[in-house]
Structure 1
Amino acid sequence: MNLVYFEEILFTLAFIAYTLSAVLFFVFVALKKEKIGRIAIGLAIGGFGVHTLAMILRVIHSGRLPFTNQFEFATSFAWGIVLCYIVLHYAYKFTGIGAFVMPIAFLVMGYASMLPKTVKPLMPALQSGWLYLHVGTAVISYGSFAVAAGLAAMYLIGERQKASGDGDTVLLKSEVCDYLSYRVIAFGYLMLTLVIVTGAIWAKYAWSRYWGWDPKETWSLITWLIYSVYIHLRFNRGWKGKPAAWFAVIGFISVIFTFVGVNNILPSIHSYR
């Protein structure tokens, strides 16, 4: 049995399911048909299941968790986004959130599909148990920030609809979007803090220093500082509304640059292909 072949088939099926789910969520928001929303959710969950099987085959084939190159992190990142969305959906039963989160998962999966999928032996620097804790928390953190950015986008669009007098909408109330975005960011911030701490400890073992101002390290710190400011202003100043929503979007842009931009533009010892 060719595990690589079946992995690629499952990855493609998951990509198709996420694509159809994103499209149907947009249709749901436009037409306000609950049946379409349920189909979109089913596709997201089904795609997540198939995606999980693809990652399991990758683990069996490579003998390790899929965290060691750009393709593996990209597919894990997309998996984390959908996982966070599904958890949020079952916790709050808000169908419309999918229209703002599943397109992000689709784009990340699309990026992953363009990357080399070859399984290579681990570099010496990656042969550490810290790899799984460091990258695993990054997957959950980035997935959380993606969902928070989707909620922030929903807030901004909802406010625009409110200003235009469109009261008939399937979007969440502004206050709910604002609150959920904050809760998800707080969780993602905790995970990102663990990413940086575990990365520093791992760097000490791998390169005999805790911090070296490598571009990946620097942009991870910038992202952490952006969300630190958000948490501080929210907690101590009661910061809400449009400024907070835009800050959530800007923070996620920094997340994307940390992942995609640094790997493809800036020379970094973290750019494993």
Structure 2
Amino acid sequence: MLELSRICLAAATVLLTLALVSNVVIVLTRNTAARKAAAKEAALVGASGAGGAEPERLAASPAVVESPSRGLGWYTDRTIEISLVLLTVGLAARTFATGHAPFANQYEFACSFAWGMTLAYVFFNHRYRLRTLSLAILPLPVLMLLYAATVGSEAVPLMPALDNHLLLTLHVATAILGYGAAAVAFGAAVFYLIRPHLKLRGLPSEELLDEIGYRAVVITFPMLTIMIILGAVWADIAWGRYWSWDPKETASLVTWLIYGAYLHARVSRGWRGNRSAGLLILGFVAILFTYYGNLFFGGLHAYA
């Protein structure tokens, strides 16, 4: 089962990488096609002004060349969905082999983190059909899976502090779902900030990017809230106290406060634009610090 898990996770890494490259090609190709169409239309307009073009020809000149329904974009989307299935099978196989949810160490959490980000991307892609966002989001699960390949994948028994299957599953699962949605918010915020500097056609509007970021945080914030509450309950069971100001606990609290501040500023103060995007980026940086920080600062969560 462990070997099946490794194969599935490796295959998912390859497919996600191919999908990312494919989406880069699609975006650049559409941009080139749009430029050519615009140049052709401009030429026709000029010819029409000189009496050389018919109105019907002008009306037939498209602004963007659309791909067929089963073109490269369709296959790319299916590739990402297959990657999600492979990640799911790989994590399920590891769960069956180890006897616990795949959340007990850096390797397992990195793979689960990649699963959460891929799931969130698939969900928002189905809802908004924004291929361009993949250029900021898909690199994240790919990098996380590549990182997982560099750390030990051996299955080891749960340490005593983690030997609570129910709380382990619920506590970390809510983190995975929240972190995955936060990756989408991060991608939308990055594109919001760099959009004025990009010379690409067909980019999502600033209003839509802002809306996607907000909708993603609507998922992230309650998941982080549940994660912290469950973590406090688990800490009391495992260590005899609800809160220890452990580096990972502190970082998770700071992360929760950042996303809470974002929602408060947006709803109460009407924040939009660069300031909101900056908070979303800061929030995801805090998530990464929460995940990796214990490697440098130790603490009660040094094992994960």
Structure 1 length normalisation: TM-score? 0.93
Contact kept in structure 1, 2:9 and 2:86, CA below 8 Å: yes
- Which of residues 264, 268, 280 in structure 2 aligns to 1:236? 268
Question: SS at 1:150's partner residue?
Answer: helix
Which residues of 2 match residues 1-273 of structure 1 at below 5 A? 3-32=1-30, 34=67, 35-128=71-164, 129-161=166-198, 166=199, 169-260=201-292, 262-272=293-303
Return the alpha-carbon distance in structure 1 between the equivalents of residues 127 and 186 of structure 2. Answer: 18
Return the alpha-carbon distance in structure 2 between the equivalents of residues 112 and 28 of structure 1. Answer: 29
Paired letter, 1:121? P
Long gaps (5+) in structure 1: none
List, as ranges, runs of 4+ consecutive aligned residues in structure 1 with deviation greater than 3 Å: 33-36
Paired letter, 1:85? Y
Return the alpha-carbon distance in structure 1 between the equivalents of residues 215 and 5 of structure 2. Answer: 35
Question: SS at 1:104's partner residue?
Answer: helix
Q: Which residue number in structure 1 is paired with residue 43 of structure 2? A: none
Return the alpha-carbon distance in structure 1 between the equivalents of residues 2 and 168 of structure 2. Answer: 23
Contact kept in structure 1, 2:101 and 2:168, CA below 8 Å: no
Long gaps (5+) in structure 2: 31-65
**Distance apart, 1:157 and its partner CA:** 2.4
**Distance apart, 1:22 and its partner CA:** 1.5
Paired letter, 2:239? W
Return the alpha-carbon distance in structure 2 between the equivalents of residues 56 and 78 of structure 1. Answer: 14
**Distance apart, 1:225 and its partner CA:** 1.1
Return the alpha-carbon distance in structure 2 between the equivalents of residues 70 and 114 of structure 1. Answer: 10
Paired letter, 1:270? H
Question: SS at 1:76's partner residue?
Answer: helix
Contact kept in structure 2, 1:29 and 1:171, CA below 8 Å: no
1:30-89 deviations in Å (ceiling 9; x for gaps):
222743333332221111111111111101111121111111111000000000111111
Paired letter, 1:9? I
Contact kept in structure 1, 2:5 and 2:93, CA below 8 Å: yes
1:69-127 deviations in Å (ceiling 9; x for gaps):
11111100000000011111112222222222111111111111111111111111111
Return the alpha-carbon distance in structure 2 between the equivalents of residues 50 and 67 of structure 1. Answer: 17
1:155-174 deviations in Å (ceiling 9; x for gaps):
2222333xxxx4x6232111
Q: Would the alpha carbon gap of residues 18 and 210 (structure 1) be closer, same or farther in structure 2, given more than 3 Å must change?
A: same
Aligned length: 265
Using the TM superposition, name which of 168-177 and 135-144 deviates more: 168-177
Using the TM superposition, name which of 190-199 and 45-54 deviates more: 45-54
Return the alpha-carbon distance in structure 1 between the equivalents of residues 302 and 149 of structure 2. Answer: 17
Question: SS at 1:68's partner residue?
Answer: coil
Return the alpha-carbon distance in structure 1 between the equivalents of residues 290 and 250 of structure 2. Answer: 9
